[in-house]
Every structure is written in structure tokens, then in C-alpha cells.
Chains A and B, each alone.
Chain A
Amino acid sequence: MTTPALTLPEAVAERPLLAPPAPADYLHGGGVRSWLLTRDHKRIAVMFLGATSLALLLGGIFALLLRAELLTPGPTIMSAEAYNRTFTLHGIVMIFMFMIPAIPTVFGNFLLPLMIGARDVAFPRLNLASFYVYLTGSAITLTSLVAGGADMGWTFYVPYSTTSPSAVANVAFGVFVLGLSSVLTGINFIVTVHTMRTKGLAWHRLPLFVWSLYATSIIQVLATPVLGMSLLLVAVDRLWGIGIFDPALGGDPLLFQHLFWFYSHPAVYIMILPAMGVISEVVCAFSRNPPASYRAIAYSSLGIALVGFLTWGHHLFVAGMSLLDGAVFGVLSMFVAVFSAVKVFTWTLTLRRGSVSFETPMLYFFWFTFLFTFGGMTGVAVATSSLDIHWHDTYFVVAHFHFIMVGGTLTAYLAALHYWFPKFFGRRYNERWATIASVTVFVGFVLTFVPQFLLGNAGMPRRYYAYPPEFQWLNVLSSGGASILAAGMLLTLVGLVYALVAGPRSDRNPWGARTYEWLSASPPPTENFEGELAITRGPYDYHLPE
């Protein structure tokens, strides 16, 4: 039945002018434009989730191509030129477009304000800007693909990077811009933690994830500009012949290496500290215990951030360092390892006298702790200078850093995805599916990278397109593992996408955790909390009611 049209005065009398009802949560309300111009940290986090997931996918495809090529000692599916460009872009995309940004921009952005009872980060518009700067930097970097690729390795060593006949400048500029995004995120987080903690939230009540983000942000702000400058110097040399490292002009290629690694060593701590923060949260939630020592974890995060700035020389042991320099950098590297060891010790003891359950995030905790310890101990090994002579630039080092980055950071990222999935999207994923995917990822990872330690011991250098035939069977094992790892990642993706669109609704706090983000609805409303939150207990007080 149609109702007769009302005149305007009648219409107004009928329906007084009210604001439309507020959307149920941050995900709903407004169209595409409201997302693209949002200032809501949660929406920005979800956009970063999309972007960084694409980066992970792209980097993963490159990895599979590399492992396929390495199935045989000679040419398999691509030329040497293509291989060299593929490993370079694999490294660049994975490090600068996924490893460095992912946990801070996805989980940091979403959870930091929630964890401190704030309504948003300190500078929401800057936050949105950092997203668009990320996209811009990624786009510039990826233009290199259209221009035929770049092949200098993600380490850009001169003089090869300044003379290579490939699209090096595109990548250098792209990474420079991505670095700017990193700096902006770091500034935002530090200021947020200092100025936006809600009532009752003293520093010693901060969730450990917040401590890890804080330490990471310090590194981001201070170290990234140095990388930016190093790459800018490479780019201006390529474009305008302004070579400051050119040996033909008396320049020193080793000076570039010092400058590059001054950032890139702390960068690895940018990649691992947020992951460690995630793991701290997961172990407490799934053993329903406070950490065995809160201050050990909090302070070791700061210790890693600070001492991590002093160890870059261990990448140059074989480049012609003096004995004294080598000794100093070596011992400082040992110091930094102790901070990480303290964390492993603390996480393990957190289980003691707890109440342990084995949902998917906790499985990832187990994989992380085991694989990170493995990777960390091999780190101590390569920091032993005489041994590094044999291992430097071989597959041993490749295995070491993949243990940390994939076995460590990626594993923690997957833990975070599952742990906070209900918080982000208000839905539950399928536990059985995720468990199978998780075990597949673990098995695939081990099979991919353990053979690489042995290849390194046997003397196979890295970045090798062709290799002696006796190395083949280990390479085949590794490539087989890579396909299992890929399958596990694919299963994870399918499971989570399914849960996103058709998963059962979740409660506000399905895990019964005590950190403060769980006090908001799942998913949270745009303003995060109803009214002002006052904190009267610690973040891991499992003996107290929520």
C-alpha cells in the first residue's frame, strides 16, 4: 500500500530531525569514501591489513618462484637475470612492505588506543597519511617490476647498485618513501603512549604489547632516516653521477655498508620486537597467568632497542674490518642476544602454575618460541667472528634470518591474526581448520629452512642461481618444504576469509583475557569505549574478575 506523499512541514512533524542511529561498530556506517578518508585508527588498521596481506602474497609468490628455480642445479624455469631480480624483489617486498610495517600498522594501530583506554592515536590524520605514504612508496617500488626489475639484492651494496643495468633507482626511492611512513607511525605511537593513557594506567600497567610497540617506535624514528639517506645517495649517483662511494673517485664502498647496516641491523629489531609483544600477550592469555616477570620483558624490549643500535658491524666481519672493531661489535652482539634469551626464559616460565589451553594462537606461541630460540642461537653462532668467516653470505645466514623472520615474526603475525580476529571482526574462526593450517605451516617451515643450514655448512653461497650438483637434494627438500608452507598459508587465508564472511558471532572476550582492549565490544564502536575508562587493576590480573 502506498502512502500519500507528505508536504515538507508534515514530513518534519512526522520525523523530527534526529541524527541517524550510530552504526553498531566501526566496520559499518558510511561508504567507500568514509573508509578512504577515515581518521579511525581501527579502519586504518584494517586497510593496512589488506595492503600488507597483498605484499605478503607478492613476496610469497616470488619465494615460490625462487624455490622452483632451485630445484635443479642449472636453469629450471627462468634465466639468471630473472632469478637475480626475483630474489631482490622478494627481499625488498617482504622486508619493507610486510615485515617492518605489518604488526605495528595492523595490530599496533588497532590495539594501541584500545589497550590504553584511548579513543584514538595522538595524530589520527597523520595516521591516515602514513597509510597513503605506504601505498605511494609501495607503488614506486613496484614500478621497478614494470621497468624490468632490479637485481642488486635488498642490501644495495655499492658499486654494484650504482652500476647495475636495472631499475635500482625506482626501488631506492620507493623504499625511501616507505621509510617515511615508518617514521610517521613511530612518532604517532610514542606520543600516544606518552599522552593518551587513560586514568589509572601507569607505565607498569601497560600491556606488554604496548612496551614492544614503544621500543619499536624509538628505532623507527631514529634509524630509518639513516637508511633513507643511504638509499638517496645511491639514487643520486645513478641518476646524476653524484657518486660519493665510487672507488674511481677515491670513494669508499665500505662506508656505504656501515651506513646501510647502521639502519638495517636495528631494522631487524623493528621486525621482531612487535612480534615478541604479540607473543607476550598470547602466552599470558592462554595460560591465564601474568608474565613470569613483567619487568624482564618490558625492560628487555628497551634493551634490545638501545643495544641493537650498536651491533651493525657484525655484518662486515669479512669485509675487511680491523680486529678491534670486529671484537667490539661481536661482544655487543652477544649482549643483545641475552635480552632475547631472557624473554624466551620468561615466556616459558609463564606457563608454570598456569592454566594452559591449546587454541590456534597458543599453537603459534609454541612454534614461535621453539623456532625463535633456534634462530636466535644460530644468531649467536654467526656473531662468533671466526665462525662467521665460513658462514657469511652462505645459506646458513639465509636460514638464520628466515628462522627469525618467518619462524619468528610471521608466526607471531599469524598468532595475532587468530587471537585478535574476534576483536577486529566480531567473529570466530574455525578452530579445527586453523589448527590444521598451523601445523602445516610449522612442518612446511621446518622442512624449508633446516636443510638450508646444512647447505650453508657445506659451502653453498647465497644469491646463487646455479649451484654444484652435490647440493641438489638438500635444495629439493627445501623447495618441497616451501610448497607445504605455501599450502599452510593458503589454508590459513581461506579459513580466515571464510570466518570473516560466514563465521559465527563472537562474544566480547572469547578468550577471557585481562588486557584492556577486551573491555570494549568486539568489534568495538567507533569511539572504542562507552565513556571514560578508569583502570583499577593490572593487565594480567587473572585472579581478579574482569
Chain B
Amino acid sequence: MNELFRRLLFLPPQASGFARDFDALHYAVITASMLGIFAVGLALAWFSFRYRRSPQNAVRPPRPPLTRAQELTPAFGLLVLFVGFWCVGVRQFALMQRVPAGGLLVYVTAKQWMWSFDYANGDRTNETLYVPTGRTVELAMTSRDVIHSFYVPAFRIKKDVIPGRTTSVWFSALRPGTYPIFCAEYCGLDHSGMRGRVVALTPSEFAERFERTPRAPGGADTPLAEREPGGHGELTSLAARGARVAAARGCLRCHTLDGTPHLAPTWARLYGHEVPLANGSTVVADAAYLTESMMDPLAKVHRGFTPIMPTYRGILTPAETAALVELIRSLADAPLAPPAPLVSAGTPPLPLPAALDGGVAP
């Protein structure tokens, strides 16, 4: 039945966890609509035929208008029906908004006119998003330029990707396959060419691909984070790469990784915790807040710190941004170092903790 409706309505395969439920509501709404349209058409046809003009009916006594009950009953009935659709729709919409914990996080960057994907293990792909089946995948998305929209019809998901902020969407692919990605918000000349594909692999295939393939050393125009001095070519975690970026970009002149107080908020135990702001409110430090703070450091200043951080917009590439966010995320439960005497400005930056030291001096 489901398959019959799906084919009749030209819907794509139901390749994600919620596709089937969404489609069930779709069928209900469309069926009700078709019945309504058909009923109206039938009534029009019947009345036209039954009351077609003739000498007998050209002049008639006035027909009484509808009573209040006759007016309100169909209106109320339709309202109940429409609100019923709305109820189910909102419940499903809420399901889409709430990302289950423990998902695989992939950073998506949209730019005119391509998609690129950064994985937690450090890998990066363009156009093709690899995901394992049967597992929650969360996408943290941002745009480099104008508004785009990440749309995978087979998963029934779509979310606008906006410059200057991070939006998220999640899904769980049911079975292996290749599913098209479209950009669904007009973004300029090659909007219709801004496509990609989701390749869902079985968990074992996914693990194989992402844990074994060595990264080739970067070329001259590879972003800083991906360049491996000495050309080791070994796979590094995205968090380790983040540590390298933090050192190379000067972040560690002010931020610490182990809770030591310094010129700027420490990154230990930052991710997912509440941050008190200078304007009196608080905010949870998630990927969106961290990205914003890198691009627009004066937007949400941490209470108790001087707003001296420069902006990194145009300096950090999205890959580097993702790496830094991943680094901070990895420190979410890091042990805090015992409080040290307050250091004054002008002291040299603190060295990296040994665990994350990949051998690169700042």
C-alpha cells in the first residue's frame, strides 16, 4: 500500500528513518484533498445539471439562506481536519529538530556552487557525503557566501544553510545506496549545478574506508591544517588537526586547553556547557556559538574577559574552523588543571599538552 502510493505520487525511495512516517502523513493529506476536490467537482456538476436553466426555473421565489448551523458545521469540521494534519505535522517536525545524542557529526560547508564535507576523523570530501547506515548522522552546516539549502529528497530532509551561522539537520540512512543532494535555495548562476550525493555504506564498509586510507600530503594550496610538515602522510584526527591550527593561528596565545586561566576563556570543559555573557544572559557553547565567536568575536563576549579577540573571518578556512570546533568538542570533559597564579599579558603562550602534541612547535 505504502509502495503503491509512493509510486503513484512519484515520491523517491524512503531511504531514511523518518521518510516512511512523513510519507504516511503525505498520503493522508493528499487523499483527503483529492476527496474534497472530487466532492466539490461532483457537487458542481450535479447542481449544474439538476438546476440548469429552463423556462420553469427562470423565475422562482427567493431561496432561504443557509442557517447559522449549516454555515458553521462544515467550517468547523474542516478546521478540525486541518488542525489534525497540523498536529501530526508538528510532532514529526519536532522529531526532526531534536538531534539524538551520540550521532556521527559531519561539518558541511556550502559555497557557490559546491558542497564540502569534513569528518571528525580528519577526512574531507567534496560533493560526496559518506555515511554509515543505521546510525544517526548530524550535519553542522554553514555557508561561505549566500544562503543555500541542503536537500536530500530520498531522506525527506532539507535545511537552509546560512552564512554567519551554523544550522543542523540529522538523519539515519536505512540501507546502502546513493542518494542525490540538491541545493534548494537559489544561490546564483550555477544553483542547479550545485549537487552532490550521499553514499550510504554499511558500517563495516564505512569503517574500512575512513579508518584505513592514508591522507596524501597536501599541495601548495592545501589549507594550513592539512599540511603535514615532513610529509608523514598519516591520518590525524580532526581534533589533533585543530590543535595544530590553534597553535599556528595564534589562538593559544590567549586560550588554554587545560583550564588554566589566561587572557581568554579556556577550551577545557567549554563545549556543551553554559557560558555567561557580558550582557547578562547565558548561552550554551555549541558548534554554532563557537563558530560565531571565531567569526564575530564581539557578538557574544564571555563575561569577565576583555573583548580583544580579532575576527578570523576570511582567515580560517571552513576546514580549519571545523577542526577547531572538533578540538574544543574533544575537550568537553577534559580534566581541569589545578589553578595557577594569574599570568599577565605579554607572557609567551603556553605549550600544548603532551597528548595532543603532534610534534609541531608553535
Contact = CB atoms under 8 A, between A and B. Distances in A.
Interface residues of A, number: 92
B44 A386 contact: no
Contacts of B203: none
A273 to B, nearest CB: 18
Contacts of A330: 86, 89-90
B78 interface: yes
B103 interface: no
A200 interface: no
B85 A389 contact: no
A335 interface: yes
A414 interface: no
A369 B62 contact: no
Interface string A365-404: 0100110011001101101111111101110000000000
B10 A454 contact: yes
B48 A342 contact: no
B216 interface: no
B12 A318 contact: no
Contact of A342 (B11, B25, B71): B71
A163 B143 CA distance: 15
A378 B316 CA distance: 45
Contacts, number: 264
Nearest to B98: A323
Contacts of A455: 10
A390 B19 CA distance: 10
Interface stretch (B187-195, B221-229, B332-340, B347-355): B187-195
A225 interface: no
Contacts of A153: 186
Interface in B37-53: 37, 40-41, 43-44, 47-48, 51-53
Nearest to B70: A293
B160 interface: yes
A531 interface: no
B323 to A, nearest CB: 22
Given A330-B86, A373-B40, A293 B71 contact: yes
Contacts of A247: 162-165
Contacts of A157: 146-147, 185-186
Contact of A337 (B43, B66, B82, B91): B82
Contacts of B95: 386
Nearest to A387: B26
Nearest to A474: B10
B37 A370 contact: yes
Contacts of A338: 75, 78-79, 82
A499 B182 CA distance: 50
B93 interface: yes
A233 interface: no
Interface in B130-148: 145-147
Nearest to B22: A386
Interface string A132-160: 00000000000000000001110001011
Contact of B62 (A254, A345, A541): A541
B25 A386 contact: yes
B191 A463 contact: yes
A287 interface: yes
Given A288-B58, A327-B86, A458-B12, 17 more contacts: A151-B188, A152-B186, A159-B145, A253-B163, A289-B63, A296-B66, A331-B83, A331-B86, A334-B83, A341-B78, A370-B44, A374-B37, A377-B32, A381-B30, A381-B85, A387-B29, A392-B149
Which 9 pairs show the lowest CB-CB distances between chains A and B?
A: A459-B153, A247-B164, A386-B92, A377-B33, A384-B89, A351-B47, A464-B192, A334-B82, A385-B93
